[in-house]
């Protein structure tokens, strides 16, 4: 890992409410991320994790502060920041190969020959162990296989930063474990910078170099950053019994369930998890997010 290349610089986010005023989702979120680092964001529902990710992706513009990637301000979506959502968002009428091909052609246009394009697509499908099913459509694939294709599509864009919004949250426990192992293998080989949202404490400790723990919303911010000093490669069964692993796990649990317990009681009727999970094809507007926040408050 080298010098900081991604800076989330004192980012605040407010969403206008239809009845007037504004809902403050984030308050001065500030962190610098090194190239090749794996960072997890964790916190209770309503802490604005997805809002942070959407700002880094360029789907939202921060109300204050901003995001700098390799010296350039982030103000719109671009291929240097690929997003993997919990929903794989594959086009159902295309094969796995064609879904990846669509992204490759969009990003590289005429920079690659037909032979180079094919080799690049097959290479990325091999990375996620899906080259054997490249000619199958999404309805012929399991949930884990679909998510592997979604990751291959993101990697094929050669992003500087891979953004993952609870990518394994909808999978069963065994499939999730296999996907986590695959992600560690890929990240070790490619040295991608990864920011991942998760609600899974064990997943965060297993995968991360640092865990960013968010305070409860509204006006959520970074409460604590935990450095995970565990040697790589990491093997889950062996690590689970080590005092070091369990120390880190306990630190995260203490933050979540002692320092930030019961967010509903702290902020009755409010939620800062607005803007959560925009659709990959269109994204959610700020007005949509504000309406969602107002509906949550009324619930």
* pLDDT tens for each residue of 39-78: 999 999 889 999 999 999 999 999 999 999 999 999 999 9
Sign of CA dihedral 154, 156, 162, 168: positive
Residue written as token pair 């309503």: 46
- pTM of this prediction? 0.85
Q: What is the mean predicted confidence (pLDDT) over 88-104?
A: 94
Name the pLDDT band for 263 (thresholds 50, 70, 90).
Answer: low
Query: Which residues, 6+ apart, have CB-to-CB distance to 21 below 8 Å?
Result: none
Evaluate if residue 159 carries a pLDDT over 60: yes
Q: What is the mean predicted confidence (pLDDT) over 236-263?
A: 89
Evaluate if residue 260 carries a pLDDT over 80: no
Q: What is the pLDDT of residue 170?
A: 85
Name the pLDDT band for 194 (thresholds 50, 70, 90).
Answer: very high
Residue 92 to residue 37: CA distance in whole angstroms: 33
Name the pLDDT band for 259 (thresholds 50, 70, 90).
Answer: confident
Q: What is the pLDDT of residue 46?
A: 86
Structure tokens at 248: 């880190």
CB 85 within 8 A of CB 165: yes
Identify the residue with better confidence: 164 or 281: 164
Name the pLDDT band for 268 (thresholds 50, 70, 90).
Answer: very low
For residues 61, 66, 71 and 75, what is the CA-based torsion angle, rounded to 10 degrees? 10
Evaluate if residue 271 carries a pLDDT over 50: no
Quote the mean pLDDT of the chain: 87
Name the pLDDT band for 262 (thresholds 50, 70, 90).
Answer: low
Q: What is the pLDDT of residue 281?
A: 34
Q: What is the pLDDT of residue 285?
A: 34
Sign of CA dihedral 257, 238, 152, 69: positive
Q: Which domains does the chain carry?
A: 4-80+163-172+193-298 (3.40.50.300), 86-158 (no CATH)
Phi, psi of 265 (to 5 degrees): -70, -35
Name the pLDDT band for 261 (thresholds 50, 70, 90).
Answer: confident
Q: What is the mean predicted confidence (pLDDT) over 220-225?
A: 96
What percent of the chain shows pLDDT beyond 70?
A: 86
Evaluate if residue 290 carries a pLDDT over 70: no
């Amino acid at each position: 890992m080298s010098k900081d290349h991604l800076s989330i610089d004192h980012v605040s986010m407010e969403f206008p409410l239809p009845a007037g005023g504004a809902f403050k989702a984030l308050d001065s979120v500030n962190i610098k991320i090194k190239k090749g680092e794996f960072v997890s964001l964790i916190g209770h529902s309503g802490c604005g994790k997805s809002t942070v990710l959407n700002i880094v992706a360029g789907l939202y513009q921060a109300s204050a502060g901003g995001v700098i990637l390799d010296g350039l301000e982030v103000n719109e979506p671009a291929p240097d920041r690929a997003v993997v959502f919990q929903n794989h968002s594959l086009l159902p009428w295309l094969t796995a190969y064609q879904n990846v091909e669509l992204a490759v052609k969009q990003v590289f246009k005429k920079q690659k020959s037909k032979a180079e394009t094919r080799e690049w697509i097959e290479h990325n499908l091999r990375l996620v162990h899906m080259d054997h099913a490249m000619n199958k459509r999404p309805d012929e694939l399991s949930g884990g296989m679909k998510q592997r294709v979604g990751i291959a599509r993101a990697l094929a864009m050669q992003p500087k930063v891979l953004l993952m919004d609870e990518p394994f949250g909808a999978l069963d426990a065994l499939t999730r474990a296999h996907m986590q192992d695959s992600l560690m293998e890929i990240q070790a080989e490619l040295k991608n910078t990864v920011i991942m949202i998760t609600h899974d404490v064990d997943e965060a400790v297993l995968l991360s170099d640092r865990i960013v723990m968010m305070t409860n919303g509204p006006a959520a911010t970074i409460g604590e950053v935990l450095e995970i000093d565990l040697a790589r490669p990491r093997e889950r069964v062996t690590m689970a019994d080590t005092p070091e692993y369990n120390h880190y796990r306990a630190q995260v649990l203490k933050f979540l369930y002692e320092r930030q317990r019961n967010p509903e009681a702290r902020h009755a009727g409010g939620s800062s998890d607005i803007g959560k999970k925009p659709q990959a094809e269109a994204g959610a507007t700020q007005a949509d997010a504000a309406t969602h926040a107002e509906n949550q408050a009324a619930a």
